[in-house]
Amino acid sequence: SYDLTQPPSVSVSPGQTASITCSGETLGEKYASWYQQKPGQSPVLVIFEDTKRPSGIPERFSGSNSGNTATLTISGTQAMDEADYYCQVWDSGIVVFGGGTKLTVL
Amino acid sequence: EVHLVESGGGLVQPGGSLRLSCAGSGFSFSSHWMTWVRQAAGKGLEWVANIKQDGSQIYYMDSVKGRFTIYRDNAKNSVYLQMDSLRAEDTALYYCARDQVMNILTGYYDYWGQGTLVTVSS
């Protein structure tokens, strides 16, 4: 089975840049997506096809994917960005989520 | 506006069955792949199954193969998850979600329901 590995937690100061990584074998050959989930809420798609933002997602969210690592970058992080973030890929119909990263803004 | 509403969750004994439903509205339901994703309390997201627009292609995670069945009724704008031989480890909040793009499988989900809670316990 295919595995995606994320750091359990990332901390960032308000206004700074947060980077959350997602690692998997030849991940750069697949499309990565990212979801934000706040406590008690359903996940929200923030990045798809490695770099694209759905409408309504702030420009401070960006993504990249190369080699074995996909990265979600949040520039000028705000308190409202504190949440769990999950990377996700699919291959031949099978979907895989990373274990999730808790982003703390402090 | 797009809405997905899950129902059918509840408490069931190990070995029992449950059928989850997800009703979609505000979009062309029959044009989208649909998926079920679950989340155990305090844990991460776990994909369960997905189904093509016309039901002709279906995929499952390994641990539910042979126990869960995903199907849909486009006339009712609904997708279902029949869960049999339930185990304690199936306890989770079950979400349905819509594949973003019409008529193809993209593997990313732009709308999610609020989830329905399944508890498997004696």
Walk along chain B (122 residues) and give the pLDDT tens digit of each residue: 999 999 999 999 999 999 999 999 999 999 999 999 999 999 999 999 999 999 999 999 999 999 999 999 999 999 999 999 999 999 999 999 999 988 888 889 999 999 999 999 99
Q: For A64-68, what is the mean pLDDT? A: 97
Running DSSP on this structure, what letter comes out for residue A79?
A: G
CB-closest option in B45, B57, B106 to A43: B45
Kindly give, in sequence order, each residue whose CB lies less than 8 Å from that of residue A95, ignoring residues fewer than 6 positions away: A88, A89, B35, B37, B47, B50, B59, B107
Phi, psi dihedrals of residue A23, rounded to the nearest 5°: -115, 140
Q: For A55-72, what is the mean pLDDT? A: 97
The structure tokens 């199907």 sit at B71
> Does residue B50 belong to the interface with chain A, where contact is any CB pair within 8 Å?
yes
Task: Give the pLDDT confidence score for residue B103 in this predicted structure.
Answer: 81
Kindly give, in sequence order, each residue whose CB lies less than 8 Å from that of residue A106, ignoring residues fewer than 6 positions away: A11, A12, A13, A14
Check if the beta carbon of residue B51 is closer than 8 Å to that of residue B58.
yes
Q: Which residues does A contribute to its contact with B (CB < 8 Å)?
A: 1, 31, 33, 35, 37, 42-45, 48-49, 54, 84, 86, 88-90, 93-100
Instruction: Spell out the SS3 assignment of chain B.
Output: CCEEEEECCEEECCCCCEEEEEEEECCCHHHCCEEEEEECCCCCEEEEEEECCCCCCEEECHHHCCCEEEEEEHHHCEEEEEECCCCHHHCEEEEEEEECCCCCCCCCEEEECCCEEEEECC
- pLDDT, tens only, A2-35: 999 999 999 999 999 999 999 999 999 999 999 9
Task: Give the pLDDT confidence score for residue B105 in this predicted structure.
Answer: 85
Query: Testing the interface with A: which of B4, B35, B45, B58 to mutate, by most A Cβ within 10 A?
Result: B45
- Record: contact A95-B115, CB cut-off 8 A: no
A67 to chain B, closest Cα gap in Å: 20
Q: Which residues in chain A are closer than 8 Å to B3, comparing Cβ atoms? A: none
Bridge partners, residue A34, by sequence: A47, A87
**Three-state secondary structure call for residue A81:** helix
Task: Give the pLDDT confidence score for residue A83 in this predicted structure.
Answer: 98
State the Cα–Cα distance between residues B44 and A82, nearest whole angstrom: 16
Query: Among all residues of chain A, which has the CA nearest to that of B93?
Result: A42
Task: Give the pLDDT confidence score for residue B104 in this predicted structure.
Answer: 84
- pLDDT, tens only, B57-90: 999 999 999 999 999 999 999 999 999 999 999 9
Report the mean per-residue pLDDT for chain A: 96
Task: Give the pLDDT confidence score for residue B102 in this predicted structure.
Answer: 83
Task: Give the pLDDT confidence score for residue B107 in this predicted structure.
Answer: 87
Which two tokens mark A101? 């990263």
State the Cα–Cα distance between residues A98 and A91, nearest whole angstrom: 14
Task: Give the pLDDT confidence score for residue A69 in this predicted structure.
Answer: 98
Q: For A55-60, what is the mean pLDDT? A: 96
Q: Which residues in chain A are closer than 8 Å to B44, comparing Cβ atoms? A: 84, 86, 97-100
pLDDT more than 70, % of chain A: 100
